Chains A and B, each alone.
Chain A
Protein backbone atom coordinates (compact mmCIF):
# COMPACT_ATOMS: atom_id res chain seq x y z
CA UNK A 1 0.00 0.00 0.00
CA UNK A 2 1.26 3.46 -0.81
CA UNK A 3 0.03 6.93 -0.12
CA UNK A 4 0.38 9.79 -2.51
CA UNK A 5 1.12 13.23 -1.25
CA UNK A 6 -0.27 16.21 -3.09
CA UNK A 7 2.98 16.87 -4.86
CA UNK A 8 3.32 13.36 -6.11
CA UNK A 9 5.90 11.61 -3.94
CA UNK A 10 4.94 8.10 -2.93
CA UNK A 11 5.75 6.90 0.53
CA UNK A 12 5.02 3.43 1.84
CA UNK A 13 2.20 3.64 4.37
CA UNK A 14 4.37 2.01 7.02
CA UNK A 15 6.79 4.94 6.88
CA UNK A 16 4.14 7.47 7.83
CA UNK A 17 3.83 7.29 11.62
CA UNK A 18 0.50 7.44 13.40
CA UNK A 19 -0.24 10.66 15.27
CA UNK A 20 -0.63 11.31 18.14
CA UNK A 21 2.18 9.08 19.38
CA UNK A 22 2.45 7.32 22.75
CA UNK A 23 4.46 8.86 25.57
CA UNK A 24 7.25 6.82 27.18
CA UNK A 25 5.90 4.80 30.11
CA UNK A 26 8.27 6.22 32.74
CA UNK A 27 8.16 9.83 31.48
CA UNK A 28 4.56 11.00 31.91
CA UNK A 29 5.51 14.70 31.70
CA UNK A 30 7.52 14.47 28.48
CA UNK A 31 6.18 14.55 24.92
CA UNK A 32 6.37 11.23 23.01
CA UNK A 33 10.00 10.28 22.22
CA UNK A 34 9.03 9.80 18.55
CA UNK A 35 8.17 13.51 18.35
CA UNK A 36 11.66 14.45 19.52
CA UNK A 37 13.09 12.17 16.83
CA UNK A 38 10.99 13.91 14.17
CA UNK A 39 12.03 17.32 15.55
CA UNK A 40 15.71 16.34 15.28
CA UNK A 41 15.37 14.82 11.81
CA UNK A 42 13.40 17.31 9.77
CA UNK A 43 11.40 20.49 10.20
CA UNK A 44 8.30 18.91 8.69
CA UNK A 45 7.04 15.41 8.03
CA UNK A 46 3.86 13.48 7.23
CA UNK A 47 1.82 11.76 9.94
CA UNK A 48 -1.28 9.59 9.78
CA UNK A 49 -4.37 10.59 11.75
CA UNK A 50 -7.30 8.53 13.11
CA UNK A 51 -9.21 8.92 9.83
CA UNK A 52 -6.30 7.81 7.64
CA UNK A 53 -5.47 11.31 6.40
CA UNK A 54 -1.78 12.29 6.24
CA UNK A 55 -1.33 15.98 7.04
CA UNK A 56 2.03 17.66 7.66
CA UNK A 57 3.41 17.76 11.19
CA UNK A 58 5.52 20.75 12.29
CA UNK A 59 7.62 20.17 15.42
CA UNK A 60 10.16 22.99 15.77
CA UNK A 61 9.49 26.11 17.81
CA UNK A 62 10.35 28.80 15.23
CA UNK A 63 8.36 27.10 12.45
CA UNK A 64 5.38 26.54 14.75
CA UNK A 65 5.31 30.14 15.85
CA UNK A 66 5.76 31.49 12.31
CA UNK A 67 3.04 29.28 10.84
CA UNK A 68 0.54 30.02 13.61
CA UNK A 69 0.94 33.72 12.81
CA UNK A 70 0.86 33.21 9.02
CA UNK A 71 -2.24 34.63 7.30
CA UNK A 72 -1.83 31.99 4.56
CA UNK A 73 -2.91 29.33 7.04
CA UNK A 74 -6.54 28.76 7.99
CA UNK A 75 -8.43 27.52 11.05
CA UNK A 76 -11.63 26.83 9.08
CA UNK A 77 -12.74 23.40 10.22
CA UNK A 78 -15.14 23.09 7.26
CA UNK A 79 -12.25 22.98 4.74
CA UNK A 80 -11.89 19.54 3.11
CA UNK A 81 -8.46 18.56 4.50
CA UNK A 82 -8.83 20.09 7.98
CA UNK A 83 -7.01 17.63 10.26
CA UNK A 84 -9.64 16.93 12.91
CA UNK A 85 -8.44 15.87 16.36
CA UNK A 86 -10.84 12.98 16.83
CA UNK A 87 -14.25 11.73 15.66
CA UNK A 88 -15.82 13.52 18.64
CA UNK A 89 -14.16 16.85 17.87
CA UNK A 90 -15.12 16.62 14.21
CA UNK A 91 -18.75 16.07 15.19
CA UNK A 92 -18.62 18.90 17.72
CA UNK A 93 -17.19 21.32 15.15
CA UNK A 94 -19.91 20.29 12.68
CA UNK A 95 -22.68 21.08 15.16
CA UNK A 96 -21.14 24.00 16.95
CA UNK A 97 -18.74 26.13 14.93
CA UNK A 98 -17.21 29.05 16.81
CA UNK A 99 -14.60 31.72 16.12
CA UNK A 100 -11.76 29.35 17.00
CA UNK A 101 -12.57 27.61 13.71
CA UNK A 102 -13.03 30.74 11.60
CA UNK A 103 -10.61 33.11 9.91
CA UNK A 104 -10.65 36.91 10.00
CA UNK A 105 -12.65 39.07 9.59
CA UNK A 106 -15.46 36.80 10.89
CA UNK A 107 -13.18 35.48 13.66
CA UNK A 108 -12.26 38.96 14.91
CA UNK A 109 -15.85 40.20 14.87
CA UNK A 110 -17.05 37.32 17.06
CA UNK A 111 -14.01 37.06 19.34
CA UNK A 112 -14.24 40.76 20.18
CA UNK A 113 -17.74 40.21 21.55
CA UNK A 114 -16.26 38.36 24.53
CA UNK A 115 -12.74 39.79 24.96
CA UNK A 116 -13.73 42.53 27.44
CA UNK A 117 -14.27 40.03 30.26
CA UNK A 118 -10.75 38.62 29.82
CA UNK A 119 -8.77 41.87 29.83
CA UNK A 120 -5.92 42.06 32.33
CA UNK A 121 -7.83 44.62 34.43
CA UNK A 122 -11.06 42.61 34.53
CA UNK A 123 -9.26 39.40 35.40
CA UNK A 124 -7.11 41.07 38.08
CA UNK A 125 -10.35 42.32 39.65
CA UNK A 126 -11.37 38.66 40.05
CA UNK A 127 -8.20 37.74 41.94
CA UNK A 128 -9.69 38.24 45.46
CA UNK A 129 -12.75 36.14 44.53
CA UNK A 130 -10.49 33.40 43.10
CA UNK A 131 -8.38 33.48 46.28
CA UNK A 132 -11.55 33.05 48.35
CA UNK A 133 -12.66 30.06 46.24
CA UNK A 134 -9.22 28.44 46.56
CA UNK A 135 -9.07 29.03 50.33
CA UNK A 136 -12.60 27.71 50.82
CA UNK A 137 -11.87 24.48 48.93
CA UNK A 138 -8.63 23.96 50.90
CA UNK A 139 -10.54 24.52 54.19
CA UNK A 140 -13.02 21.84 53.15
CA UNK A 141 -10.25 19.42 52.16
CA UNK A 142 -8.39 19.92 55.43
CA UNK A 143 -11.57 19.35 57.43
CA UNK A 144 -12.45 16.18 55.51
CA UNK A 145 -11.09 12.64 55.28
CA UNK A 146 -7.76 11.78 53.68
CA UNK A 147 -6.49 10.62 51.29
CA UNK A 148 -8.54 12.70 48.90
CA UNK A 149 -8.69 12.91 45.10
CA UNK A 150 -7.24 16.35 44.36
CA UNK A 151 -8.93 16.42 40.94
CA UNK A 152 -12.48 16.19 42.33
CA UNK A 153 -11.87 18.07 45.58
CA UNK A 154 -9.88 20.97 44.17
CA UNK A 155 -8.50 21.00 40.61
CA UNK A 156 -11.86 20.78 38.86
CA UNK A 157 -13.98 22.91 41.25
CA UNK A 158 -11.60 25.93 41.17
CA UNK A 159 -11.93 26.76 37.45
CA UNK A 160 -15.53 25.52 37.28
CA UNK A 161 -16.61 27.88 40.07
CA UNK A 162 -14.72 30.75 38.45
CA UNK A 163 -16.05 30.26 34.93
CA UNK A 164 -19.63 29.78 36.23
CA UNK A 165 -19.35 33.10 38.06
CA UNK A 166 -17.89 34.85 35.01
CA UNK A 167 -20.40 33.45 32.52
CA UNK A 168 -23.40 33.55 34.84
CA UNK A 169 -24.06 29.79 34.77
CA UNK A 170 -25.36 28.05 37.94
CA UNK A 171 -22.52 26.02 39.50
CA UNK A 172 -25.15 23.56 40.73
CA UNK A 173 -25.19 22.25 37.13
CA UNK A 174 -21.49 21.33 37.18
CA UNK A 175 -21.99 17.54 37.13
CA UNK A 176 -23.99 17.93 33.92
CA UNK A 177 -21.58 20.12 32.01
CA UNK A 178 -18.42 18.43 33.29
CA UNK A 179 -19.72 15.01 32.21
CA UNK A 180 -20.53 16.26 28.71
CA UNK A 181 -17.23 18.16 28.31
CA UNK A 182 -15.40 14.98 29.30
CA UNK A 183 -16.99 13.10 26.40
CA UNK A 184 -15.99 15.79 23.92
CA UNK A 185 -12.30 15.81 24.87
CA UNK A 186 -11.88 12.04 24.93
CA UNK A 187 -10.30 10.71 21.74
CA UNK A 188 -12.12 7.39 22.10
CA UNK A 189 -15.62 8.90 22.23
CA UNK A 190 -17.86 7.91 19.32
CA UNK A 191 -19.53 10.31 16.91
CA UNK A 192 -22.91 9.46 18.43
CA UNK A 193 -21.68 10.16 21.98
CA UNK A 194 -20.25 13.48 20.79
CA UNK A 195 -23.43 14.37 18.92
CA UNK A 196 -25.57 13.86 22.02
CA UNK A 197 -23.10 15.64 24.34
CA UNK A 198 -22.84 18.65 22.00
CA UNK A 199 -26.61 18.84 21.58
CA UNK A 200 -27.17 18.66 25.34
CA UNK A 201 -24.63 21.40 26.01
CA UNK A 202 -26.03 23.61 23.23
CA UNK A 203 -29.60 23.14 24.54
CA UNK A 204 -28.42 23.95 28.04
CA UNK A 205 -26.56 27.11 26.97
CA UNK A 206 -29.54 28.14 24.85
CA UNK A 207 -31.76 27.93 27.95
CA UNK A 208 -29.21 30.01 29.89
CA UNK A 209 -29.18 32.65 27.11
CA UNK A 210 -32.99 32.66 27.38
CA UNK A 211 -32.72 33.33 31.12
CA UNK A 212 -30.32 36.23 30.48
CA UNK A 213 -32.62 37.70 27.83
CA UNK A 214 -35.39 37.81 30.43
CA UNK A 215 -33.17 38.75 33.39
CA UNK A 216 -29.93 40.41 32.28
CA UNK A 217 -27.10 40.32 34.82
CA UNK A 218 -23.50 41.48 34.94
CA UNK A 219 -21.95 38.43 33.26
CA UNK A 220 -20.66 37.20 29.89
CA UNK A 221 -23.78 35.27 28.89
CA UNK A 222 -25.79 38.46 29.42
CA UNK A 223 -23.50 40.34 27.03
CA UNK A 224 -24.07 37.57 24.47
CA UNK A 225 -27.83 37.76 25.09
CA UNK A 226 -27.62 41.51 24.45
CA UNK A 227 -25.98 40.80 21.06
CA UNK A 228 -28.81 38.40 20.28
CA UNK A 229 -31.34 41.08 21.16
CA UNK A 230 -29.48 43.57 18.92
CA UNK A 231 -29.60 41.08 16.02
CA UNK A 232 -25.79 40.71 15.86
CA UNK A 233 -25.79 37.04 16.89
CA UNK A 234 -28.24 34.19 16.42
CA UNK A 235 -29.35 32.22 19.51
CA UNK A 236 -27.43 29.27 18.09
CA UNK A 237 -24.20 31.29 17.72
CA UNK A 238 -24.58 32.67 21.23
CA UNK A 239 -25.13 29.18 22.66
CA UNK A 240 -22.08 27.88 20.75
CA UNK A 241 -19.88 30.68 22.11
CA UNK A 242 -21.19 30.08 25.62
CA UNK A 243 -20.43 26.38 25.26
CA UNK A 244 -16.90 27.11 24.03
CA UNK A 245 -16.16 29.40 27.00
CA UNK A 246 -17.69 27.00 29.52
CA UNK A 247 -15.84 23.90 28.33
CA UNK A 248 -12.52 25.61 27.56
CA UNK A 249 -12.77 27.48 30.84
CA UNK A 250 -12.60 24.54 33.20
CA UNK A 251 -11.03 21.44 31.60
CA UNK A 252 -7.74 23.10 30.71
CA UNK A 253 -7.07 24.89 34.00
CA UNK A 254 -8.21 21.84 35.99
CA UNK A 255 -5.61 19.71 34.25
CA UNK A 256 -2.89 22.32 34.79
CA UNK A 257 -3.69 22.35 38.53
CA UNK A 258 -3.62 18.58 39.00
CA UNK A 259 -0.78 17.73 36.59
CA UNK A 260 1.21 20.76 37.77
CA UNK A 261 0.89 19.61 41.37
CA UNK A 262 2.06 16.13 40.41
CA UNK A 263 5.04 17.55 38.49
CA UNK A 264 5.98 19.71 41.48
CA UNK A 265 5.68 16.76 43.91
CA UNK A 266 8.14 14.91 41.66
CA UNK A 267 10.50 17.92 41.77
CA UNK A 268 10.67 18.69 45.51
CA UNK A 269 13.47 21.25 45.19
CA UNK A 270 11.39 23.26 42.73
CA UNK A 271 8.30 22.88 44.91
CA UNK A 272 10.28 24.09 47.93
CA UNK A 273 11.49 27.15 46.02
CA UNK A 274 7.93 27.98 44.96
CA UNK A 275 6.55 27.46 48.48
CA UNK A 276 9.14 29.79 50.01
CA UNK A 277 8.79 32.50 47.39
CA UNK A 278 6.94 35.65 48.41
CA UNK A 279 7.50 37.44 45.11
CA UNK A 280 4.44 37.52 42.82
CA UNK A 281 6.84 37.75 39.85
CA UNK A 282 8.48 34.48 40.85
CA UNK A 283 5.07 32.80 41.10
CA UNK A 284 4.08 34.22 37.70
CA UNK A 285 7.31 32.88 36.23
CA UNK A 286 6.63 29.45 37.75
CA UNK A 287 3.21 29.42 36.09
CA UNK A 288 4.78 30.14 32.69
CA UNK A 289 7.31 27.35 33.13
CA UNK A 290 4.65 24.83 34.14
CA UNK A 291 2.56 25.89 31.14
CA UNK A 292 5.58 25.29 28.89
CA UNK A 293 6.78 22.10 30.53
CA UNK A 294 3.37 20.41 30.67
CA UNK A 295 1.70 21.85 27.51
CA UNK A 296 -1.52 20.03 28.34
CA UNK A 297 -3.13 20.92 25.00
CA UNK A 298 -0.91 18.19 23.59
CA UNK A 299 -2.70 17.18 20.41
CA UNK A 300 -1.30 19.90 18.18
CA UNK A 301 -2.88 23.00 16.70
CA UNK A 302 -4.85 22.13 13.57
CA UNK A 303 -4.76 24.20 10.37
CA UNK A 304 -5.12 24.09 6.56
CA UNK A 305 -2.77 25.87 4.12
CA UNK A 306 -4.60 28.37 1.92
CA UNK A 307 -1.58 28.89 -0.35
CA UNK A 308 1.66 27.04 -1.00
CA UNK A 309 3.93 27.65 2.02
CA UNK A 310 7.57 26.63 2.22
CA UNK A 311 8.86 25.29 5.53
CA UNK A 312 12.47 24.18 5.80
CA UNK A 313 12.78 23.46 2.07
CA UNK A 314 9.51 21.52 1.85
CA UNK A 315 6.40 22.99 0.25
CA UNK A 316 3.07 22.61 2.01
CA UNK A 317 0.61 22.76 -0.89
CA UNK A 318 -2.52 24.91 -0.78
CA UNK A 319 -5.35 22.83 0.66
CA UNK A 320 -3.19 20.46 2.71
CA UNK A 321 -3.73 19.92 6.42
CA UNK A 322 -1.09 20.98 8.96
CA UNK A 323 -0.68 19.92 12.58
CA UNK A 324 1.56 22.13 14.74
CA UNK A 325 2.88 20.07 17.65
CA UNK A 326 3.18 22.79 20.27
CA UNK A 327 4.00 20.30 23.03
CA UNK A 328 7.31 19.32 21.46
CA UNK A 329 7.85 22.87 20.12
CA UNK A 330 7.89 23.91 23.77
CA UNK A 331 10.74 21.41 24.30
CA UNK A 332 12.79 22.64 21.35
CA UNK A 333 16.39 23.12 22.61
CA UNK A 334 16.86 26.00 20.15
CA UNK A 335 14.16 27.98 21.99
CA UNK A 336 14.55 26.66 25.56
CA UNK A 337 17.98 25.52 26.80
CA UNK A 338 17.84 22.15 28.63
CA UNK A 339 14.17 21.96 27.61
CA UNK A 340 13.31 18.76 29.48
CA UNK A 341 14.20 20.28 32.83
CA UNK A 342 11.47 21.88 34.92
CA UNK A 343 13.12 25.15 35.91
CA UNK A 344 10.71 27.55 37.61
CA UNK A 345 13.25 30.37 37.32
CA UNK A 346 13.37 30.22 33.54
CA UNK A 347 10.53 32.68 32.79
CA UNK A 348 9.77 31.28 29.32
CA UNK A 349 7.08 33.80 28.39
CA UNK A 350 7.61 33.01 24.69
CA UNK A 351 6.20 29.47 25.01
CA UNK A 352 3.39 28.36 22.71
CA UNK A 353 1.26 26.52 25.30
CA UNK A 354 -1.57 28.99 24.55
CA UNK A 355 -0.81 28.82 20.81
CA UNK A 356 0.27 31.86 18.82
CA UNK A 357 -1.26 34.08 16.14
CA UNK A 358 -4.74 35.55 16.19
CA UNK A 359 -6.20 32.39 17.75
CA UNK A 360 -3.97 32.49 20.82
CA UNK A 361 -6.03 31.51 23.88
CA UNK A 362 -8.66 34.08 24.75
CA UNK A 363 -8.82 32.97 28.38
CA UNK A 364 -5.07 33.07 29.05
CA UNK A 365 -5.17 36.04 31.47
CA UNK A 366 -7.79 34.20 33.55
CA UNK A 367 -5.85 30.92 33.44
CA UNK A 368 -2.70 32.75 34.58
CA UNK A 369 -4.40 34.36 37.59
CA UNK A 370 -6.13 31.11 38.58
CA UNK A 371 -2.85 29.20 38.42
CA UNK A 372 -0.91 31.94 40.23
CA UNK A 373 -3.43 31.87 43.08
CA UNK A 374 -3.47 28.07 43.23
CA UNK A 375 0.29 27.51 43.04
CA UNK A 376 1.00 30.24 45.62
CA UNK A 377 -1.62 28.96 48.08
CA UNK A 378 -2.07 25.17 47.97
CA UNK A 379 1.48 24.09 48.88
CA UNK A 380 1.83 26.74 51.56
CA UNK A 381 -1.40 25.85 53.28
CA UNK A 382 -0.67 22.11 53.00
CA UNK A 383 3.14 22.01 53.21
CA UNK A 384 3.21 18.25 53.77
CA UNK A 385 1.08 17.51 50.69
CA UNK A 386 2.15 14.21 49.09
CA UNK A 387 0.95 11.45 46.81
CA UNK A 388 -1.17 8.79 48.50
CA UNK A 389 -0.22 6.17 45.84
CA UNK A 390 2.84 5.39 43.74
CA UNK A 391 3.41 7.45 40.61
CA UNK A 392 2.84 4.39 38.40
CA UNK A 393 -0.68 4.00 39.82
CA UNK A 394 -1.75 7.45 38.62
CA UNK A 395 -4.10 7.23 35.61
CA UNK A 396 -2.93 9.70 32.94
CA UNK A 397 -5.18 11.07 30.21
CA UNK A 398 -3.34 9.41 27.33
CA UNK A 399 -6.67 9.20 25.50
CA UNK A 400 -7.52 12.87 25.96
CA UNK A 401 -7.15 15.73 23.52
CA UNK A 402 -6.20 17.62 26.68
CA UNK A 403 -3.57 15.90 28.85
CA UNK A 404 -3.69 15.49 32.60
CA UNK A 405 -4.60 12.96 35.26
CA UNK A 406 -7.99 11.38 35.85
CA UNK A 407 -7.32 11.11 39.57
CA UNK A 408 -4.67 12.38 41.94
CA UNK A 409 -4.97 10.73 45.36
CA UNK A 410 -3.12 12.92 47.86
CA UNK A 411 -2.65 13.05 51.59
CA UNK A 412 -0.70 15.19 54.07
Chain B
Protein backbone atom coordinates (compact mmCIF):
# COMPACT_ATOMS: atom_id res chain seq x y z
CA UNK B 1 0.00 0.00 0.00
CA UNK B 2 0.97 3.60 -0.57
CA UNK B 3 0.03 6.40 1.85
CA UNK B 4 -0.46 10.06 0.94
CA UNK B 5 -1.10 12.88 3.44
CA UNK B 6 -2.20 16.48 2.89
CA UNK B 7 -0.60 18.74 5.50
CA UNK B 8 -2.78 21.66 4.38
CA UNK B 9 -5.97 19.80 5.26
CA UNK B 10 -4.66 18.31 8.55
CA UNK B 11 -6.23 19.66 11.78
CA UNK B 12 -3.80 17.96 14.21
CA UNK B 13 -6.42 15.79 15.91
CA UNK B 14 -3.78 13.10 16.50
CA UNK B 15 -6.08 10.25 15.43
CA UNK B 16 -3.51 8.90 12.94
CA UNK B 17 -0.70 8.79 15.51
CA UNK B 18 -2.96 6.86 17.89
CA UNK B 19 -3.85 4.41 15.10
CA UNK B 20 -0.42 3.87 13.50
CA UNK B 21 2.43 5.54 15.42
CA UNK B 22 5.09 3.92 13.22
CA UNK B 23 3.62 5.50 10.09
CA UNK B 24 2.43 8.93 11.25
CA UNK B 25 3.98 11.58 13.46
CA UNK B 26 3.20 15.23 14.25
CA UNK B 27 5.30 18.34 13.67
CA UNK B 28 6.74 19.82 16.85
CA UNK B 29 5.59 23.37 16.08
CA UNK B 30 1.90 22.78 15.32
CA UNK B 31 1.02 19.09 15.55
CA UNK B 32 0.46 18.79 11.78
CA UNK B 33 0.88 15.31 10.31
CA UNK B 34 4.27 14.01 9.21
CA UNK B 35 4.41 10.82 7.15
CA UNK B 36 7.20 8.56 8.42
CA UNK B 37 6.91 6.02 5.63
CA UNK B 38 5.05 6.13 2.33
CA UNK B 39 5.02 2.36 2.01
CA UNK B 40 4.27 0.79 5.38
CA UNK B 41 4.79 -2.95 5.86
CA UNK B 42 1.77 -5.23 5.35
CA UNK B 43 1.53 -5.83 9.09
CA UNK B 44 0.53 -2.20 9.62
CA UNK B 45 -1.97 -2.03 6.75
CA UNK B 46 -5.08 -2.31 8.94
CA UNK B 47 -3.81 0.36 11.33
CA UNK B 48 -3.14 2.70 8.40
CA UNK B 49 -6.61 2.07 6.97
CA UNK B 50 -8.07 2.88 10.38
CA UNK B 51 -6.02 6.11 10.50
CA UNK B 52 -7.40 7.14 7.11
CA UNK B 53 -10.98 6.30 8.14
CA UNK B 54 -10.74 8.19 11.44
CA UNK B 55 -8.98 11.30 10.14
CA UNK B 56 -11.58 14.04 10.74
CA UNK B 57 -10.08 16.29 8.07
CA UNK B 58 -9.88 13.45 5.52
CA UNK B 59 -6.23 14.32 4.97
CA UNK B 60 -5.00 10.72 4.52
CA UNK B 61 -5.35 8.60 1.38
CA UNK B 62 -4.43 4.97 0.99
CA UNK B 63 -3.66 3.51 -2.42
CA UNK B 64 -4.00 -0.25 -2.29
CA UNK B 65 -1.64 -2.16 -4.54
CA UNK B 66 -3.22 -4.54 -7.00
CA UNK B 67 -2.54 -8.11 -6.14
CA UNK B 68 -0.72 -10.01 -8.86
CA UNK B 69 -2.55 -13.19 -9.80
Asked if A pairs with B, the answer is yes
Interface on A for B, CB 8 Å cutoff? 68-69, 108, 111-113, 115-116, 118-123, 349-350, 354-362, 364-365, 368
Contact B28 A116 (CB under 8 A): yes
- With an 8 A cutoff between CB atoms, is B17 at the interface? yes
Q: Mark B28-64, 1 if CB is under 8 A from A, else 0.
A: 1111100000000000000000100110111000000
Among residues of B, the one whose C-beta sits closest to the C-beta of A366 is: B14
Query: Chain B: interface secondary structure?
Result: loop
Asked whether A364 and B14 contact (CB < 8 A) given A69-B56, A350-B54, A357-B56, the answer is yes
What 13 new A-B contacts, CB under 8 Å, besides A119-B31, A122-B31, A360-B11? Answer: A68-B56, A69-B56, A112-B12, A112-B31, A116-B28, A119-B26, A119-B28, A120-B18, A350-B54, A354-B13, A356-B56, A360-B57, A368-B18
Among residues of A, the one whose C-beta sits closest to the C-beta of B17 is: A120
Chain A residues near B28: list those with CB within 8 A.
Answer: 116, 119
Interface on B for A, CB 8 Å cutoff? 9, 11-15, 17-19, 21, 26, 28-32, 50, 53-54, 56-58
Chain B residues near A68: list those with CB within 8 A.
Answer: 56
Chain B residues near A121: list those with CB within 8 A.
Answer: 26
Question: Could you tell me the distance between the alpha carbons of A356 and B59 in the complex, rounded to whole angstroms?
Answer: 13
**A-B CB contacts (within 8 Å), total count:** 68
Q: Which 9 residue pairs across A and B have the least CB separation, nearest first? A: A360-B56, A115-B12, A119-B31, A115-B31, A120-B17, A119-B26, A120-B14, A365-B14, A112-B30
User: Which of B30, B54, B56, B58 gathers the greatest number of chain A CB atoms within 10 Å?
Assistant: B56
